Structure 1
Amino acid sequence: MATTDHIQAILERMPHEPGVYQHFDGDGKLLYIGKAKNLKKRVASYFTKQDHNGKTRLLVKKIRDVQWIVTASEADALLLENNMIKEHKPIYNIQLKDDKTYPFIVLKKERFPRIFPTRQVRKDGSEYFGPYSNVKGMHAVLDLCKKLYPIRTCSLALTEDNISKGKFRVCLEYHIGNCMGPCVGKQTEEAYNESIAAIRHVLRGNLGEVKSALKESMIVAASDLRFEEAERLKLKLLAVDKFQAKSTVVHPTVSDVEVYGVVSDAKSAFVNFMRIHNGAVVQGQTLEFRRRLDESDEEILSAAIPQIRDRFDVASRTVLAQVDVEVLGAECLVPQRGDKKKLLDMSLRNAQFAMRDRHAQLEQVDPDAAKDRLMETMMHDLRLKEHPVHMECFDNSNIHGTNPASACVVFRNGKPAKRDYRKFNIRTVEGPDDFASMKEAVYRRYKRLRDEGESLPQMVVIDGGKGQLSHAMEAIDELGLRGKIAFVGIAKRLEELYFPGDSVPIYLDKRSPTLRVVQQMRDEAHRFSLAHHRKRRSKAFLHSELDDIPGVGPKTRQALMTAFGDVKAISVASEKALLDVVSLKVARAVRVHFHGSDA
């Protein structure tokens, strides 16, 4: 089916990730919510397939905009789709619009708690785990829990008074080993609650303890020659490995919460907002804010959260964010682990995708936008006065001072310019002196550029710490170029950046595009210098003393080695013996080389 330019641009930008997509008409009305294992392929199929049914063809004709939310997995996308359909009730959704929902596992709040599946979440103090998009998987989890930790399945009122009066008798479950008989006092409440605590760990996904117990039981069974039981335990262990107890999309323990994640580039900040209602993500949106005064993430969130809360008319009592900000009428939390941290990570991930999508939009309109954005970011991060369009990086290579080599790689607009690469054979340095080698390479490179009137780079990266950087600056001072070229050194261990004269390094965000370019330059310089050093080393290793004799080329050398066997035999051979192999001129040159003019 034909697509508008706007839809085509959206399709080109969509990520190959699982998530939920939303179709809107020209008035901004939500038409349809769907989930996908691969968002790009699924949404594109609406506009490329020709065999749609009548309803789908009508839907596609009305689509004027597409939005999406990225999730961690396809199962999470299915659950988020369910929640959003129940919240927004789009006109073209049928499958999930009814009151059915995915099942939970409930841990009942009662004496000797029961565990069973349910589709209704009641606020009665019980604990709910799930939901489970795969019912078979949920029953496998229940079966695993009950086999590992036998608990009751009956609905008897096991009060202390009823048990002491002997009102109950053990049932078949007790006789076959599925229950320990708490109804008749054969299992204490303390022991029963220990089993419940272990089951709670399983349902929350804390499977380390369970796996350790299964492995130990399996080993014991195998050592006692109970191989069938060991095989059953092995299958349970494999089932535990595949089991995923929690979804990042729905958290029954997290209710009525707003989640905010922010990422930014040099000009804009992207704030993702998610609303959690009754444990489910029911709303998600990412908004772009223009940075005016180089604000920090904390300042951006402080300004953005009130605007978002007012725009979407939300007023939760709890706000989750990556930095602590003051929110009027709400408590701000910065989660470090657990369910809330997973929600915050999901929000940040969607903000990242929104920023990439915005960058892709700009690049569709202006192909140079990515380059300009990178140059602007690097100029800001590296405290430069102009865009680092021309950058160079130096690195040294040697083994215990032998065959020392240096290399200079050149980047233009953040990309390698390989035809401008230069390599250096170190001439003035004796022994393994990395500092002096760096000084010589830098001096020779920029002396030549200066003398030939070539343009100088805006930035030079030195592979090494303060020592290499200070020696490079000595070369620049001797050339009188200080202040005309910006220098920075990168130390490998912590990827710390040193500036000339600064004793304390700076640390860029590991996801920073500036750091990625500097690392790429460092790695490319290392590769190029190492290749040059290896080439020199191989050449030196294959060098023969015969190569130093005038008139002896590869063929003559081979003929001499074939006739005499080694260089020592050639050195003591008489002129007459040599004449049997080579000409008189070459024979005399060989004698002069080994014995001097007296030969």
Structure 2
Amino acid sequence: MVERSLEEFDAKSFIRELTEQPGVYRMLDADAQVIYVGKAKNLKNRVSSYFAKNDHTPKTRVMVKQIAAIEVTVTNTEVEALLLENHYIKQLKPRYNVIFRDDKTYPYIHLSSHKFPKLGYHRGARKQGGDYFGPFPSGSAARQSLSMLQKLFKVRQCEDSVFQNRSRPCLQFQIKRCKAPCVGFVSEEEYAKDVQLTRLFYQGKSEEVLQSLQTQMDAASEALEFESAAIFRDQLASLRALTQKQVISGVMIDADAFSIKLNAGVLCAVVVTVRDGQVLGSETFFPKLKLDVSLEELFESFVLQFYLSGREAPKEVILSSEQVRANVLESAIEKVAERRIRVADNVRGDRLEWLKLAEKNADIALQNKLNSNASQMEKVTQVKEQLGLDELPLHMECFDISHTMGEGTVASCVVFKRGAPDKSSYRRFNINDVTPGDDYAAIEQAVYRRYARMVKSDENLPDLILIDGGKGQLKSALQALEQLSIQQPAIVSVAKGTERKLGMEQLFFPGQSIAKILPENSEALHLIQHIRDEAHRFAIAGHRGRRKKQRNTSWLESIPGVGPKKRQQLLKHFGGLKNIEQSTLNDLKKVKGIDTHLAEKIYNYLHE
């Protein structure tokens, strides 16, 4: 695999437009595999730190060199980012998230069902009675929550064995973190009030808890119990600081929330997946935009295709009300899923928060896409200016050759349009009838075959042709174009230079003996490097595939009229290819199923 440089990813442009909101980022390598997942309170600051600092550990430096793309999912809070990060790591198992590979479950807070319930930390199977609250993103987060609740509501956290054998209050009572129910210092009714407030808080009903504390504070103040009122006041302040709306843990339903955005000819669709009330992540798509189709039709078509592709439809599908006909789409999805589905187009509460999350991610993804396109066009403009071209090279193609000591020679042709790869237009050519190892002849054949087809089908030729190699490869490509008698496009060969260092590439132009060297920080050079490396990668992949296929076949398969059964009979009769090669015509005639005519054909093939 070709090692990719940071310039290909264009980290600077990506970070410049990155949001400062909390979220999760996923780093991908050249094969589009997620290699690292992280969370951030500020996505822009966190992601930029990977490229701005030079004091990273060796592992981090190795990882950064492999980054070919970064995807982000924006969340409403850092807590959501923590939970979502854990989900992605469990699901994708990125190789650089070593610390998370234990695959542990989330910790919970357990409120037991005793007469004086215990509030405690729990991880593992939830088999005991009582209430479980969570999950929490980490053990430290759960324990921090326990500590804060201990100060607020003073529900005991000691083990049952300790609770049942106390004869006097422990230290927790002395520091005002427990009301000592173990020795009867608090009634069952009063303790139950604290337990209920704890339960309401963990159920997300913090407003009810705040109202209850406010009422108690007002009552204590009116009764001139200022010390008690101060305690309630401090509880209110602490609780307000802790209270945070979490969209990650909402109502216990399964739902998909869709948002679709269209701007400047680019269509972006985002799906936020919710299972058991938890946001498990988001997916971003950029469907190819069809002409003369309304946004409503695009939305309905995308949602249907999403489920027709094999995705299991949840119980609810949440969509923006102004962009769809909910009743029509509901009927269509029900036919696909073969069960009842609810399409909600006018939502509130948690469902509205999920929809807003989808819309927020769609807005950001679309803007990043548009900015990326603009950034690529800036590079295309730089190529025009620094190479002295007459027109913008909106359509560029690059050729490269790959072989092993002349074996399995393959030529690649990669296509870039508007500075971005158009992978559906990539082509490979198996090079035959040339001297093994003759790269010049291989380039000439590949260029001729590529543009002979394009001329025959009346396709537009590229604005710029790049050839991986030096003056020899450039001359061969020019000879192929001359044979086709076509108006010659701009053509340049890209050589690695005398020291073969990245950034020292030499560019050779037709009719010029002196190479042009672009500045190492040139945006034009970065784009040319990207195209050249992509052509190299595509050629190597094709060569390896061809070589493997050749080594897994024999010359017997090349003889017309010798099918699998006859090959089997030949091998069985002679015991191997070497004995077949040494056989006489009479020996071949003795093989079952081989007549005189076929025996002569095999014999002649062996002795040509």
Larger radius of gyration: 1
TM-score, length of structure 1 as denominator length: 0.49
